[in-house]
Chain A
Amino acid sequence: SQQGEEDPQALSIQEGENATMNCSYKTSINNLQWYRQNSGRGLVHLILIRSNEREKHSGRLRVTLDTSKKSSSLLITASRAADTASYFCATDDDMRFGAGTRLTVKP
């Protein structure tokens, strides 16, 4: 079974709002990665956070990691319609994916 599990499975927000999605995993990790997939396309690597990091920023993306809870969150601030996609997390030692979070940003 997969290591990363995303939550919620679907999220619908208005443009300009923030979107938060979560990822839980089972075993200890060296790092965790977040990806985005637009419909019918490959995955785009968004951000990697290492196990000794608690928070990381990249543009409008903010990722947190809580190794004690074995969870991570991805926050997209000031969302845009172009952010509409599915988002997945995966850990370094297990590149199996969960169902992902399908984000819809309404203009």
Chain B
Amino acid sequence: GAVVSQHPSWVICKSGTSVKIECRSLDFQATTMFWYRQFPKQSLMLMATSNEGSKATYEQGVEKDKFLINHASLTLSTLTVTSAHPEDSSFYICSARGGGEAPYEQYFGPGTRLTVT
């Protein structure tokens, strides 16, 4: 299947700083990318959906000024957590969906564990 990578896999930052997480589709062009966060022993919560070249669509309750999403190319989307606080500590997962023969199949990255101290 297709491969999606995330970088970094884990990051520790101080409260008040910003952190950028990258999501890349390695062998296909992702027309749509999704960002999720997941707390321990809970399901994934969809944060936003982004289409290449357009603004992301955020889920209700997700602060767009705090979680900046940029889907600048068909293989890269970034999530920037601005002015991070300890409550932003979570597991962030991206997924990508492309066209071609399997337009609906969605492939997930391995996740990024963010710890804000």
Contact = CB atoms under 8 A, between A and B. Distances in A.
A42 B111 contact: yes
A48 B95 contact: no
Contacts of B106: 33, 45, 90, 95
Interface size class for chain A?
A: 20 to 34
Contacts of B44: 43, 88, 97
Contacts of B49: 95
Interface in B69-117: 91, 93, 95, 102, 104-111, 113
A35 B34 contact: no
B111 A41 contact: yes
Contacts of A31: 104
Contact of A45 (B6, B34, B105, B111): B105
A16 B104 CA distance: 32
A99 B38 CA distance: 11
B7 to A, nearest CB: 13
A64 to B, nearest CB: 18
Contacts of B110: 41-42
Which of A35, A42, A45, A97 gathers most chain B CB within 10 Å?
Answer: A42
B108 A44 contact: yes
Contacts of A45: 1, 105-108
A29 B91 CA distance: 29
Interface of A: 30-31, 33, 35, 40-45, 48, 88, 90, 92, 95-100
Given A31-B104, A88-B44, A97-B36, 13 more contacts: A33-B106, A35-B108, A41-B110, A42-B4, A42-B108, A43-B108, A44-B108, A45-B106, A95-B34, A95-B46, A97-B44, A97-B46, A99-B42
